[in-house]
Amino acid sequence: MKDSIIHLVRSNIKNLKPYQSARRIGGNGNIWLNANECPIPSLFRTNIESFNRYPECQPKNLILSYSEYVGLLSNQILVTRGADEGIELLIKAFCNPEKDAIICCPPTYDMYALNAKISNVEIKEIPTFKNTWKIDLENIQRNLNKVKLIYICNPNNPTGNIILRKDIINLLKITLGCALVVIDEAYIEFSSENSMVSCLKNYPHLIILRTLSKAFSLAGIRCGFTLANKEIIDILNKVISPYPIATIVADIAIQSLSKNAIKIMKDRVLKLNLNRNWLINELKQISLVKKIYNSHANYVLVKFHMFEKIFQKLWEKGIILRNQHHKMHLKECLRISIGSHVECSRFIEEIKILSKL
């Protein structure tokens, strides 16, 4: 039976390795520092009682609320199932299978390349410069043939660095008329001054991805946004599914974008940034730490002596981190999501114990 099905699978899917999300990797414990989730929950209630009607494809009130938050027109916004759907829709709309290509700049978020693999689109990897994590503009410019999309994560996941604004502007200049530049700002609320939203008016090929999963503490509702000029949004509206945003998701998302909820979000971001700074200062005093990378997001990348032992021992104690050792330039590195102060303190306590063994 298995053989009679396998031969029907597309050849590029047969050996595809799925994205290893935090939940797929698993683990048992109560300190989850592996998925860059917010440890402080957002508490909302919904008054919706009936669900017999399909939702709007693009909920008008939600788009209006987000347009006020980011300072854009409603026709510059597409609501998606997390930023991940935006990544997928762009490849679906702009890339011809077995003909076009995307560029991504590892080490970075894996879903750019994975979506290209699923769509049978070529992936050109142009690594960032080791340790500085600056994008290699010259190498990108030399490899623009067949490229339709360039994905840049800013702040970058998993390194936590900011891509310099001047480098993004230069990238936009060299790609004008030949490729779209996609800036993934999933973590931008932790470094809001570095957003590229204001550049949309000057660069018609700029696209920005956003989400409510991180700073807004709403990973569970899967709500994201693609920001671009109207022409691009109109194209994406052609390929998005008929009813992508559940009624209850739209309701909670709208509540999260009220003035009071945005103030609470900003207070939460301030608290997490303070936790991050405290965690980094504590890590600097631990002998097992080889290097701490500067972070502008709700996680920090750390290179450890005995990284495997640390990862495993903490895993056994219910403290779940994200192993990045397999990624380009990230040997011996673990990514640590910023938890509550209690969670960060427990993590530091266990690391100190391990350092004395």
pLDDT tens-digit map of 38-88: 999 999 999 899 999 999 999 999 999 999 999 999 999 999 999 999 999
Please report, for residues 140, 180, 324, the alpha-carbon distance to residue 327 in angstroms, rounded to integers and kept in the order given: 20, 26, 6
Q: What is the mean pLDDT of the chain?
A: 96
In DSSP notation, 112-133 reads: HHHHHHHTT-EEEE-PPPTTT-
Please give the Cα distance from 58 to 236 (Å, whole number). 12
| 91 neighbors 68 (Cβ within 8 angstroms) | no
Please give the Cα distance from 272 to 276 (Å, whole number). 6
Domains of the chain, with CATH numbers? 24-36+268-352 (3.90.1150.10), 60-258 (3.40.640.10)
User: Which is it for strands 147-153 and 101-104: parallel, antiparallel or unpaired?
Assistant: parallel
pLDDT band at 1 (very low <50, low <70, confident <90, very high): low
Whether residue 3 has pLDDT greater than 80: no
Q: What is the pTM of this model?
A: 0.96
Whether residue 282 has pLDDT greater than 70: yes
**What pLDDT score does 154 carry?**
98
Please give the Cα distance from 168 to 103 (Å, whole number). 14
| 354 neighbors 309 (Cβ within 8 angstroms) | yes
Whether residue 22 has pLDDT greater than 90: no
Please report, for residues 88, 223, 290, 315, the alpha-carbon distance to residue 209 in angstroms, rounded to integers and kept in the order given: 11, 11, 33, 32
**What pLDDT score does 19 carry?**
83
Whether residue 223 has pLDDT greater than 60: yes
Which residue's structure tokens are 């010259």?
138
State what percent of residues in the chain have pLDDT above 70: 99
Pick from 116, 96, 90, 112: which is nearest to 235 by CA? 90
| 300 neighbors 280 (Cβ within 8 angstroms) | yes
**What pLDDT score does 342 carry?**
97
User: What count of Cα atoms within 13 Å lies in the side-chain half-sphere of residue 55?
Assistant: 19
In what helix (H) or strand (E) does residue 289 lie, and over which residues does it extend? strand 289-292
Q: Tens of pLDDT along 87-123?
A: 999 999 999 999 999 999 999 999 999 999 999 999 9
**What pLDDT score does 2 carry?**
61
| Burial (0-12, 13-18, 19+ Cβ within 10 Å), 55 | middle
* Range 256-261 average pLDDT: 98
